Amino acid sequence: MARTPTHAEFTRFLSSHLPPKPKDVSLLYHVPRNPSYNFDSAPVEQVILSVTATAQVYDAIGDPRAVRRPGVIGKRPGPEEQRQNNTICFLHRPFNLRRRWIRDDVLVLSSHLSFDEYLTVGWNTVLASRLGINVAESVCVQGYKGDADRTIGIVGSVSAILGLLLRSIEREFGAIEHAQEGLSEEIHVIAIMNAFHADEVQRVNEIAQEQQWVPTAQQSGKHVLYLTGQPRDSGLDEAKKLGMTVVCVGHRVAEQWGIEYLGKRIREKFPFVTVKEIYEDVDPLPN
């Protein structure tokens, strides 16, 4: 007979998708304050997934007795609200979390660097495969902001037409925030990168040349598509010099891709757990 997972089982599952990193936030970001809480036996009936803590997140995991927003989560619970689901919350960016607002039975899990690396526009092998990259023969881009071990992207060869690729990217993310056309409709290389400055653009072009995916020549980037989140002037300028196509889906949208992906994997693994994904911009909340 199927049953709901425990906090320990669910946390192990999440760790398999988001391996903890030494410099990352703690996976167990907020442990329940209830003295009777047991990590190994506490059941999970509901999972809340969000990029960060928002009003809707607090509606789902907040203590109704605390004063928050008038008429929303500052009210006392009615009879129909007395029974709260056993809940785990996952936040990619937990830094604004107000711990005193959370019910004393809720575990909050978090991953910042690992989520950026594996589930946005970085070393995202799932997305790479969907876009036609042969991951087994791809190159991992490492080193950023003084951290030589930090993984920031994947570069791989493809054989694709730009128009079809753009449709695939729109299908994955829902929209494209900014695009800069390159010098060719034929794309031989895709770089999925969560950093976008002139240095990163040059590194991608050098990798493409070293792998002999593009010729060593002026404007050698014309067969390269650089997929990233936030547009940056220095990156756009360097890509233009090289003839490279750039697609920026937006920082927030890239993060939401990861939340949606996690939701799908959790539903597959734990079909009896309710999963709620919250896609809400941060609104101002009172102290």
* Residues making up the binding site for a divalent metal cation: 116, 251, 255
189: phi then psi, degrees, rounded to nearest 5: -140, 135
d(CA 250, CA 211): 29
List binding-site positions.
116, 251, 255
Q: How far apart, in Å, are the Cα atoms of 2 and each of 85, 175, 259, 266?
A: 18, 38, 25, 15
Residues whose CB falls within 8 Å of the CB of residue 55, separated by 6 or more in sequence, listed in order: 69, 72, 73, 280, 283, 285
Are the beta carbons of 28 and 68 closer than 8 angstroms? no
Task: Name residue 255's amino acid.
Answer: E
Q: Give ∠ CA 94-21-139 in degrees, rounded to 5.
A: 115
Q: Which of 109, 67, 103, 57 is nearest to 82 (CA)?
A: 103
d(CA 58, CA 175): 28
- Cβ neighbourhood burial of 259 (10 Å; 0-12, 13-18, 19+): buried
Task: Name residue 170's amino acid.
Answer: E
